[in-house]
Chain A
């Protein structure tokens, strides 16, 4: 196992380095400077004042040196400070992380809660009426532009029916609520964003679940169980699901980085201060430290996720050996 781990690190280390170099390159070769937002096109800001600000940010240094500087801090787990407001990048990320995690975890749970039963039931009679109906339904979710669905839902549930809050994650008097009231309030605000996230992405998981179950239900032992007179329900949810779920579990490993990556679109539409907007705003403002930190964290999580998925496969299927993997 240690050898396996070591090999993984050796394989994936260079990838990580390459990711930082590419991201750093793209960001820095882009025209525009982080000082633009504060200084551009303000007639009261002189050229000298601008150059002075660039110097203060270290932007007059050659690129390799800026990169080395950044890497040097990174190995000490220091992501530096944002160019936009001079706050530590870590602080900015930690502030956004909880809400994004909450939304993503709830969406994931909802997706699993919908996709697993749908997948199983569709697999009972592939291409039957139920299967076709759910196929069309989940694909409608996948095929609609999410901001369009969000807008229609906000207009309908928020404005016309007055059932749900339109945007934000808390009521304005949130601070004065008790513990339970706070939870309910947040939950209330999250219904639309979580629901829409699940609706627009349930397709992948449910299709995956369906094909996995279709495969499993063709196996001999299922036929044996049925022949032995085990009830259909037990066949499906006991014998079938247990094996049908295996590939789904490895998929969960791969979606690890998605848990911290928020959606710019959903967060903008629903006024949610999450990771997606942080990233988008950082790119647009050329806030290099924040962009680089997020890309690096994402890459590391992807690596860990891949590793977990691989490890999952290896555990589930001992035929997969270290040697056979490129």
Chain B
């Protein structure tokens, strides 16, 4: 932690994310307006005292929508990554630990998933089932676990010949125990880095899906769909495009700086 503190960029990233998390959790108390309250007479107002970031086409407060949107976007990021890390860890651990046929089959499957364009899977599945927040999380998760699987497998391969692992085997520890108590905790460093970067990636994926009309559906605000709705009004309402774009940019940047910081720290160990 101390070394991480030494990396000023990582600290800035972490602080930004912490502040964002607080705002997202406290959305109910922080947001000045109801993010769903339509108020037509106030449509497309420029930033002013009542609406610090202006209003959208239906007169809803942009700041409040961004605050509630932070919840959705962060939730999508974390849950998608949670799914990816879980699947990736299980697959990677099994493949790395047992090796042989199981490894060959699992890794062939990873290759297959990597060869099918992600955008195809995203498009096909979301277009077919219909976009919902849950599905978007699941699909982003299901299409991004392969990197984690490879990482975990590689780590386990290098760890499993190490003395402390061999010792555990000799002492009669079960495979399950060896994997969960000895191997995985030691393999988690790179996974943490990849997860941190992954949250940012998932937030970007949601914005891309929103651009294609397949993101979080109205009236629920997400950064992606606020940005996409604002895009069409670029000429009259710059705040509708600028604010959500900067939110995404800052947040993803923060995740990346933090991830890089952790990576730096690990590589120095």
- List the interface of chain A (C-beta within 8 A of B): 11-12, 14-16, 18-19, 22-23, 26-27, 29-32, 127, 132, 135-136, 139-140, 142-148, 151-152, 155, 203, 207, 211, 257, 261, 264-265, 279-280, 283-284, 291, 295, 298-299, 302-303, 306, 326
Contacts and interface: CB of A to CB of B under 8 A. Distances in A.
Interface stretch (B45-53, B63-71, B83-91, B120-128): B120-128
A203 to B, nearest CB: 8
Nearest to A283: B123
Given A265-B211, A299-B115, 6 more contacts: A19-B115, A23-B120, A26-B121, A145-B208, A203-B256, A298-B115
Interface string B226-260: 01000100100000010001001111110011001
Interface stretch (B22-30, B35-43, B105-113, B171-179): B105-113
Interface residues of B, number: 46
A89 B208 CA distance: 27
A148 B241 contact: yes
Given A144-B245, A279-B120, A136 B112 contact: no
B211 A136 contact: no
A143 B252 contact: yes
B111 A12 contact: yes
A280 B117 CA distance: 11
6 contacts: A15-B108, A135-B257, A147-B208, A279-B117, A284-B127, A295-B117
Contact of A22 (B9, B112, B224, B253): B112
Contact of A139 (B104, B117, B257, B267): B257
A151 B234 contact: yes
A61 B211 CA distance: 36
Contacts of A291: 120
B223 to A, nearest CB: 9
Contacts of B127: 30, 283-284
Given A295-B120, A326-B104, A19 B112 contact: yes
B7 interface: yes
B128 to A, nearest CB: 4
Contacts of B253: 136, 139-140, 143
A264 B119 contact: yes
B117 A298 contact: yes
